[in-house]
Amino acid sequence: MSIAVLNFKDLSIPEQIIKTRNIINHTKDNTDFPNPDPSIADMTASVNLLESTCLLASGRGHSFVTKMNFQEKKHYALMMLFVGYVQAESGGDEIKIISTALDVKKRGGKLKGLGAVNNVRQLKWGREGEVRVRWNLLKGARSFVSQTSVNWKKGWQYTDFAGTKTTLVIGKLVHEGYTWVRIAGINSMGIGAWSNPVRVKVG
C-alpha cells in the first residue's frame, strides 16, 4: 500500500505555493478524483491568500509576518484534509496518488485514522465576541481544526484556526451569546473523529 504525503515540511512558503498550484492543476478534471474535498475553489482561495500574505510580509513589520505564518498553518491544515481525501479515494493506489502531484511513501498493513479529541473545555472568557477553549493532546495528530455551530446538530462551520497547539481563541462571534465548538485532529489520513460538541459562552 502507498500513502499520500504532502511533504511541505522542508519547503519555503513560495515553494509550498508552487507545489499547491501544481496539485490543483493535476487534480482539476482528474477522473479518479471527481469531487475533491476540499474543493478546487477552496484550495485555490487558500493558496491565493497565502501568496498575498507572503508578498505583504516581505520587508514589512512583525504583524504582517504573523499573518503570513497563521495563513501558512491554516493552508497546511486544508491541504492535509485533501491528502486524507486522496488517500481514501485512491485506496492506496500509487499511480492514482501520483496523478494528483502528491508524493507517496510505501507502508505495509492497514492505515489507522485518528480517534476523537477529548476533554474540550472553555477557558476564562476572552475579549468581546471571543471564546477560548482547550483540549487534551491527541497521539498522532499533526495539527487541529475546529468548527462552531449555533445548533450542535447541524450548521457546522470551520473557524479561522488551524495549528498544532491545544488551545484556541475563536473570534467574530455574537457578543454575550452562546455557540457550540468541536475539535478534530489531522494526520496523513486526513481529519480524525470530531470531539463531543461543547456549549460555550461568548465574551
Place of cell 505555493: 17
pLDDT (tens digit, 9 = 90+) per residue, 124-175?
866 888 889 999 999 888 788 888 998 887 888 888 666 678 998 888 888 7
Let me know whether 85 and 127 are in one domain: no
Q: Which of 80, 106, 132 marks a domain boundary? A: 106
Residue (of 119, 175, 168) closest to 147 by Cα position: 168
Place of cell 508524493: 103
In the chain, how many domains are there?
2
| Torsion angle in degrees (nearest 10) through CA of 181, 121, 70, 149 | 10
pLDDT (tens digit, 9 = 90+) per residue, 186-202?
876 677 889 999 999 99
Residue 59 has pLDDT above 90, yes or no: no
Beta bridge partners of 148: 157, 181
Look over the chain and give the mean of its residue pLDDT values, rounded to a whole number.
87
Range of the domain at 191: 121-201
pLDDT (tens digit, 9 = 90+) per residue, 62-121?
788 988 988 998 899 889 889 888 988 898 899 999 999 999 886 655 556 788 999 999
Residue (of 103, 106, 47) closest to 74 by Cα position: 47
pTM: 0.68
DSSP the chain: -EEEE---TT--HHHHHHHHHHHHHHHTT-TTSSS-SS-HHHHHHHHHHHHHHHHHHTT--HHHHHHHHHHHHHHHHHHHHHHHHHHHHHTT-HHHHHTTT-EEEE--S-----------EE-S--STT-EEEE----TT-SEEEEEEESBTTB--EEEEEEES-SEEEE-S--TT-EEEEEEEEEETTEE-PPPPPEEEE--
Tell me how many degrees the CA angle 4-7-13 measures, rounded to the nearest 5: 140
User: In this structure, is residue 144 part of a structural domain?
Assistant: yes
Residue (of 40, 47, 42, 52) closest to 19 by Cα position: 47
Tell me how many degrees the CA angle 11-13-15 measures, rounded to the nearest 5: 55
The amino acid at 174: V
Let me know whether 83 and 23 are in one domain: yes
Cα→Cα distances 46→5, 21, 38, 76, Å: 19, 11, 10, 10
Let me know whether 62 and 132 are in one domain: no
pLDDT (tens digit, 9 = 90+) per residue, 30-57?
999 999 989 999 999 999 999 999 999 8
Let me know whether 88 and 126 are in one domain: no
User: In this structure, is residue 56 part of a structural domain?
Assistant: yes
Q: Which of 48, 83, 106 marks a domain boundary? A: 106
